Structure 1
């Protein structure tokens, strides 16, 4: 029995039960439908009875199958992963291949008509899990913490860049299934601890903390995998305020969060206030915002409560609770904190919904560095700075055909966060000549001579306009 995960992993790999194998076996139509939780096309695509199709039906679609040859049914049943009767088996868990090449074990997916979720339900890896994995820094670290590990998916991503990993969860069932996820993925030595927030790691420090926490904002903590029972968005607030105590010097914390939009209050002030006083540099990005009705529908649908007898009551209570707090919307996004050791930490709060280059973790450290450098560069130092246009920045000029001067000049990033910025002719001219070789001052003097502008006026306006462009990564400060 101790070698069951190894034997099962070998069988799954031999059968082609991998991300690519499942996608190829299902075909584009069925795979796309399955991403919408529509199973009929996938059931049609797997009805031939071959081993891979049978495994997809058993582990992913959750339907009973005839026991395939070679599957250790007795051992799986003893481990509580399947039930067996008269040659037919049914899964008691959801087992899915993951993009790292490993496997993730969770409770079965809940679909309309299924029984109500158990309070300690362990949700599988999905969009939020993938989102956090894409955000997390790729730099190698000594110690990493996965706070609220759930089914253990973030550990699969941390395993190749952290020498030591601690994973925590308040739900003992989550830790049980996470251990199975790690064993099936060939990952050993994870230190799993039970408890809420940072209680299990009270005396520890980490170079990297990641968390996909129970951020759902609801009137009560009905399901531990998504709701904390804290008032409003207080759980994410407290998580942000506590995290710096557990960061090693130069450590980073990255998490997903929800926050309230309240009538008469700027959400940027609300979330930015969470980071004020932490002593860390911070970067908050709102990726989406939903009105209260959209938000409630999303999470009632998540628990397969649409169409149930309690649906309208739950919906009405949730909306009434939001109304009592003057909530106009709920934001979703990323929060990154970095212990830079600076006595002058900077917090940037922004919103963008455009597509970004993935993984963000491949360049997130550079984003933080740009924000910090732009903030800490003294006014007296900026004229002597040597700037270089960042890779992948293009210039667009927009105006009537044949016009001598454009109506607008836009710098556009084709890499990273793919920001755009409308700039003036001076900044555009600098973008054309800045290569890190010369300080800004003589370049600005040359542009003033060419344009006939007053050198002092041009210099003052240009330096003011350049600081946000440095913060947003259009220009790099050259070290050469």
Structure 2
């Protein structure tokens, strides 16, 4: 029986002694970086182990722990005994932390430092591709560590203070660790007993109090409500199967994402928000925006669907095969590829979209705003802060449903907004034919406007109401003021939604 097919025996006592050993060895994010040095540390992150191997040649506890857990190397039993003291090697083997490898021992679990936002934790998961032996296939019950998807959801989750937070489908527990920095009470669920066992060990190892519940989808928290929900569901799109619990839901197509988006608002208190990773099909005769908007089951929910990437079926299948350690060129890989690609073709799917969904349950059952948009440009700022501000801006717009109410409001340009002009050389000199606004922070939105629009935005300094600015512009350009107001309204609403123009009442810091 493979180690991933059984639940590890990670008792509180063993976890406490493991914590003591890790602290004594300074097996922390800073300790590892200081030992390896920036170049070897960066190389290890790229999957290039040799510099780290050369930097850990000494027989001390920290070097041993790095070799075992970060490099996946077998080490001498005596060295492991010294590094893990007061946890004995036999107890570590019984707990699944180590496994025997001839006369040596090697990692049975992935235990690695994780640092962010001024905090340093350890995360326990199953061995990743860089540390698991080549002859050890990925198990159906595999518990994934901290991957790119996990980190992207962390960055897309607002960190405002909340009372209660639910991590739906916690996996290794990384979302809950970050949630604990801004939530008074954290609850996690998972359908996998193994995942829940490793997550609870992670929480114990880091001295974090978390309520952990076992069960499928929403069953463990039926009838409860939370201020915030985060969810990184098994969103892989394809046939209805469960090859790997961490990524496959057993539901067909994008039904898992549809289920979460449709049902999560029921878990929210009024004013509560949810932040979800999701995938959706692009079909031949359907706009993806209409597809995902149709997932919503409640009319009192604001929803922001942000598409970050789109992959054609061939790339999508190859990526997820490699994720499972399957060579697409192997017989198994070719068989699975053929089945998967045939499913895409039979269902008229031309691509798979991937992105973030922000949801808010509106107080008083106010009708919600649903916006679906592409955000495939590169940007550095975390999307979580932008999600909170997006909700704040659409709430402000909701309170001004008519053109007159909107235009009576003074506006200001957002800090960091710049205007790019593109001109062509003509007989009389340079003629500008593009006026493009850029937000230099957040998601880096861009909008093209005409010359009158550029002049209107330049005049948004909070001193005059927008309708007064439009009257002045109409007089200066010989335009009809009523027509100018009609054409300006949708542009202004879009610029406010994207944080390029802001209500003057919010103050200069905004």
- Tell me the TM-score normalized by structure 1: 0.93
- Name the residue aligned to 1:327: 349
- 1:36 and 1:264 map into 2 onto residues whose CA distance is 40
- 2:350 and 2:157 map into 1 onto residues whose CA distance is 30
* 2:72/2:106 contact within 8 Å kept: yes
- Name the residue aligned to 2:123: 104
* 1:387/1:477 contact within 8 Å kept: yes
- 2:347 and 2:74 map into 1 onto residues whose CA distance is 46
- 1:391 and 1:383 map into 2 onto residues whose CA distance is 21
- 1:276 and 1:387 map into 2 onto residues whose CA distance is 35
Residue 289 of structure 1 and its aligned partner are, at CA, apart by: 0.8
- 2:255 and 2:151 map into 1 onto residues whose CA distance is 24
- 1:286 and 1:272 map into 2 onto residues whose CA distance is 13
- 1:59 and 1:379 map into 2 onto residues whose CA distance is 61
- 2:436 and 2:54 map into 1 onto residues whose CA distance is 50
* 2:235/2:278 contact within 8 Å kept: yes
* 1:119/1:224 contact within 8 Å kept: yes
Please, which of 450, 466, 472 is the counterpart of residue 446 of structure 1?
Answer: 472
Residue 191 of structure 1 and its aligned partner are, at CA, apart by: 0.9
Once the two structures are superposed, residues 44-63 of structure 1 have per-residue CA deviations (whole angstroms, 9 ceiling, x without a partner) of 44344443332122112222
Once the two structures are superposed, residues 74-107 of structure 1 have per-residue CA deviations (whole angstroms, 9 ceiling, x without a partner) of 3423422113578732111001111241111011
Q: Does 1:243 align with 2:264?
A: yes
Residue 397 of structure 1 and its aligned partner are, at CA, apart by: 1.4
* 1:374/1:468 contact within 8 Å kept: no
* 2:326/2:332 contact within 8 Å kept: yes
Instruction: Please give the secondary structure, in 2, of the residue aligned with 1:96.
Output: strand
- 1:2 and 1:335 map into 2 onto residues whose CA distance is 37
* 2:74/2:104 contact within 8 Å kept: yes
Structure 1 residues 56 and 222: alpha-carbon distance in aligned structure 2, compared to 1, 3 A threshold: same
- Tell me whether 163-172 or 457-466 shows the greater mean CA deviation: 457-466
- Name the residue aligned to 2:172: 151
Instruction: Please give the secondary structure, in 2, of the residue aligned with 1:274.
Output: coil
- Name the residue aligned to 1:346: 369
Residue 28 of structure 1 and its aligned partner are, at CA, apart by: 5.0
Q: Does 1:408 align with 2:453?
A: no
Structure 1 residues 289 and 28: alpha-carbon distance in aligned structure 2, compared to 1, 3 A threshold: farther
Please, which of 275, 293, 300 is the counterpart of residue 272 of structure 1?
Answer: 293
Please, which of 412, 418, 443 is the counterpart of residue 417 of structure 1?
Answer: 443
Structure 1 residues 29 and 325: alpha-carbon distance in aligned structure 2, compared to 1, 3 A threshold: farther
- Tell me whether 118-127 or 400-409 shows the greater mean CA deviation: 400-409
- Tell me the TM-score normalized by structure 2: 0.88
* 1:244/1:278 contact within 8 Å kept: no
Please, which of 73, 85, 91 is the counterpart of residue 88 of structure 2?
Answer: 73
- Tell me whether 311-320 or 434-443 shows the greater mean CA deviation: 434-443
Q: How many residues align?
A: 479
* 2:65/2:83 contact within 8 Å kept: no
Q: Does 1:197 align with 2:217?
A: yes
- Name the residue aligned to 1:395: 419
Residue 251 of structure 1 and its aligned partner are, at CA, apart by: 0.5
- Name the residue aligned to 1:360: 383
Residue 266 of structure 1 and its aligned partner are, at CA, apart by: 1.1
- Name the residue aligned to 1:457: 483
Instruction: Please give the secondary structure, in 1, of the residue aligned with 2:235.
Output: coil
Instruction: Please give the secondary structure, in 1, of the residue aligned with 2:252.
Output: coil
Q: Does 1:51 align with 2:51?
A: no
Residue 186 of structure 1 and its aligned partner are, at CA, apart by: 1.9
Q: Does 1:231 align with 2:252?
A: yes
* 1:384/1:440 contact within 8 Å kept: yes
Once the two structures are superposed, residues 178-199 of structure 1 have per-residue CA deviations (whole angstroms, 9 ceiling, x without a partner) of 01111122212x1111111111
- Name the residue aligned to 1:318: 340
Instruction: Please give the secondary structure, in 2, of the residue aligned with 1:337.
Output: strand
Instruction: Please give the secondary structure, in 2, of the residue aligned with 1:447.
Output: helix
Instruction: Please give the secondary structure, in 1, of the residue aligned with 2:198.
Output: helix
- 1:127 and 1:260 map into 2 onto residues whose CA distance is 21
In structure 1, list runs of 5 or more residues that go unmatched.
none
Please, which of 109, 114, 117 is the counterpart of residue 93 of structure 1?
Answer: 109
- 1:475 and 1:346 map into 2 onto residues whose CA distance is 19
Residue 308 of structure 1 and its aligned partner are, at CA, apart by: 4.3
Residue 472 of structure 1 and its aligned partner are, at CA, apart by: 1.4
Residue 372 of structure 1 and its aligned partner are, at CA, apart by: 4.1
* 1:105/1:178 contact within 8 Å kept: yes
* 1:372/1:471 contact within 8 Å kept: no
- Tell me whether 75-84 or 169-178 shows the greater mean CA deviation: 75-84
- 2:108 and 2:102 map into 1 onto residues whose CA distance is 17
- Name the residue aligned to 2:404: 380
In structure 2, list runs of 5 or more residues that go unmatched.
1-10
Residue 32 of structure 1 and its aligned partner are, at CA, apart by: 4.2
